[in-house]
Chains A and B, each alone.
Chain A
Amino acid sequence: MRKIFMLAFILILALVSCSYSQENITIGACIYRFNDAFMLRFRNAMQAESEKSGAKISITDGQDDQNTQDAQIDEFIANGVNVLIINPVDRMTSQGIIDKAKSANIPVVFINREPTPEMLNSYERAYYVGAKAEESGTQAGQLIADYFKAHPEADKNHDGKIQFVMLKGQNGHQDMILRSKYSVEAIKAAGFEPVEIASAIANWDKLQAMNIMNAFIMSIGPENIEAVIANNDEMALGAVEALKNNDYNKGDPALYIPVVGVDANASALDAMDKGEMLGTVLNDADNQGASAVKLAAALASGKDINSIGYTITDNKYIWIPYQKVTRGDK
């Protein structure tokens, strides 16, 4: 009888301690570099979500150095965290991090910088939360297509095609390639025929974009340009400054060329409020941060990860869509 009591007591204790540990999940998170504007928003979102859910999170700054980050991960594992959230400094060295987590038997969620599928598949408790880069291009193209649907008069020469100017980022950069390609694809998919009348590499830079756009306005004539697509907001803003210098986009609806960018930075939102820029595309740090913490907490407590409110693809990935931002919905 006493033995059964003891057994029951131990069982209850075990259960209690088990549920107790569910309440007290510790998450160890590593960010590649703290002073990166996007990762700052990401970090704030993770902090907010863990406060809401009651999980304990400690976040370290990798200072853009993989060795520093590796040491931080070792320390987290030694301190017995329940789950890791890793924003690797070098995504190609993620295999080492996965092996460490595997041998310590704790789940690991990668964010923002994606390990290769082979790496993720080598450990059943490794996951990735992020955005698909090509989507930013697709949505920028959709912004232009939507504008042309709502404003048929934007087709200034009434030929049913969209004559656009493309301002590209640094040559060979993955975002530059994907955004340039998919923005045009999206315009096609929406049923318009895009015609690139000019394009140039402006290296993500406002100044270069402004000078180049100035030359385009002179050589092509502003009346022949129907849209400007830029790979990021800074270049879009450079184009806006050049247009403004030629009396375009200053409020007269007859003198307006829609300009789109990507990033949703503060200056772009400001220009959109003034009606100088059509729209931009936001990489949704808030939802990425929140879903990473929710996924990590579910993994650590053994809950069903499909119940956290985000779709999990291939039992490995949470893809957070980019968001279109236009005038009026800051």
Chain B
Amino acid sequence: MAEITTSKSKRLFTTAGIIFLVLGIALYFLKAPMGLNRKIYDLPIFLIIIGVCFALKGFMSANKPNNELERVSFGEFLTNNAILLAMLVLVVVICILQPRFMQIRVALDILTQSSTKLIMALGICFTLLIAGTDLSAGRMVGLAAVVSASMLQTATYANRFFPDLPQVQLWMPIVIAIIACMVFGALNGFLVAKYDMHPFIATLAVQVIIYGACSLYFDMPPNNSQPIGGIRPDFAQLGQMRLFSMGRDFPGISILIPIAAVICVIIWFILNKTVFGKNVYAIGGNREAAVVAGISVFKNIMAIFILASCLYGIAGVLEAARTAGATNNYGNGYELDAIAACVVGGVSLNGGIGKVSGIIMGVLIFTIIQYGLQFINVSPMWQQVIKGVIIAVAVAIDLTKYRRK
């Protein structure tokens, strides 16, 4: 059986990178004269980007000390990266079926749609790291969306949620919405930490409570369960603004992408550089050992659920801003997508294992597959089937890896 050693893989990456780079540059200059503009779109630019990434990866690992002992058989390499490889095959198929997929604006659109999902996944990963879960996440998105949107309508809108509310400062309703989520997050944490309830049941109960409470709020007269609209432009900008836009040439980068990036950095810092982050891994890895080591499980679990709910709140506010509206049904089922993305990104449901980089990969893989299937107009029923298969395969791989260790 073929084996991939680290030095081999370094060479592999460097050569592949250079090949992609050369091919990309060549295509970039040949595209127009060969009349391929409407056939390959921005493919050359993608090739250049991929080439640079590969070459950099090869170059970087060349500078690291050699570790020839780390050998991975070719079969193991395939199973470990099955989802990633499946996604690459799918992307190639989609590009052949619908060349429009090879556009920079499509890639940016996928990143935009990933942003709110990523923020949610980063929240939920904390609860997964302690071998728990959080089923209330999606409903918290709905709660934050409804609460923030209800207080941020234009003065002239015919069907205002609070007809007499003055035009308040933008940050106030946002903070109120996020705090509302954090209150329920604290309830999650309290039930889990105080009564040692399984997070599945505790958060299921809170999920139902949140949806009920949100529906009651949404149903208050004079709104009576009407979808909230007439969102203030300054609030909508928070989700719709595009940076560096250059008319028809470049659609611009959605503001959601830098927001998600900043949150990624913060969460990475919390998980890797703070005592709290170390405690999260410790509790997830071996709870008894953590208790013996003097870690306050109660405090940490409370903090985990409150921090997670804060992130769901942010995601909910951004969803309301992006769509310029809200109903109590926003975010329905998001928690399952977020959990699935975490699992695909290598977060173990047994707790203690998971990295921010993996979660980013997981969310991107999930969004690309979902977006791609929609792109070539695959029936929604088939999309569901494929989604389910991805989750099952990802967990199966996760468990085989876990057993090997």
Q: Hey, which bits of chain A sit against chain B, CB under 8 A?
A: 35-37, 40, 171, 198, 200-201, 205-207, 210-212, 214-215, 218-221, 233-234, 237-238, 241, 244-246, 265-271
Contact = CB atoms under 8 A, between A and B. Distances in A.
B103 A35 contact: no
A214 B109 contact: yes
Interface of B: 98, 100-101, 103, 105-106, 109, 113, 157-159, 219, 224-230, 240, 251, 319, 322-325, 327, 329-330, 371, 374-377, 380
A266 B100 contact: no
B105 A218 contact: yes
Contact of B224 (A37, A234, A246, A267): A37
Contacts of A207: 319, 323, 330
Contacts of B226: 37, 265-266
Contact of B230 (A210, A234, A244, A270): A270
A267 B230 contact: yes
Contact of A35 (B106, B219, B374): B219
Nearest to A171: B380
Contacts of A233: 227
B229 A218 contact: no
B106 A218 contact: yes
A205 B325 contact: no
B195 to A, nearest CB: 33
A267 B219 contact: no
A211 B322 CA distance: 11
Contact of A219 (B157, B225, B376): B376
A270 B158 contact: yes
B377 A219 contact: yes
B325 A237 contact: yes
B377 A270 contact: no
Nearest to A39: B224
A241 B323 contact: yes
Given A215-B371, A218-B103, A241-B324, A266 B380 contact: no
Contact of B329 (A205, A219, A220): A205
A241 B239 CA distance: 11
B286 to A, nearest CB: 40
Given A35-B224, A265-B227, A270-B230, A218 B375 contact: yes
Contacts of B98: 219
A270 B225 contact: no
Which 3 interchain pairs have the tightest Cβ spacing? Answer: A267-B229, A266-B159, A215-B374
Nearest to A268: B229
A267 B225 contact: no
A238 B98 CA distance: 24
A270 B157 contact: yes
Nearest to B229: A267
A245 B100 CA distance: 18
A200 to B, nearest CB: 7
A211 B230 contact: no
A171 B379 CA distance: 12
A206 B227 contact: yes
Contacts of A215: 109, 371, 374-375
Contacts of B230: 266-267, 270
B224 A266 contact: no
A209 to B, nearest CB: 9
B101 A219 contact: yes
23 contacts: A35-B219, A37-B224, A40-B224, A200-B377, A205-B327, A210-B322, A211-B113, A212-B374, A218-B100, A219-B377, A220-B100, A233-B227, A237-B227, A265-B159, A265-B226, A265-B227, A265-B229, A266-B158, A266-B159, A267-B230, A269-B158, A270-B158, A270-B230
Contacts of A218: 100-101, 103, 105-106, 109, 375
A268 B229 CA distance: 8
Contacts of B375: 215, 218-219
B325 A267 contact: yes
Nearest to B251: A246
A283 to B, nearest CB: 14
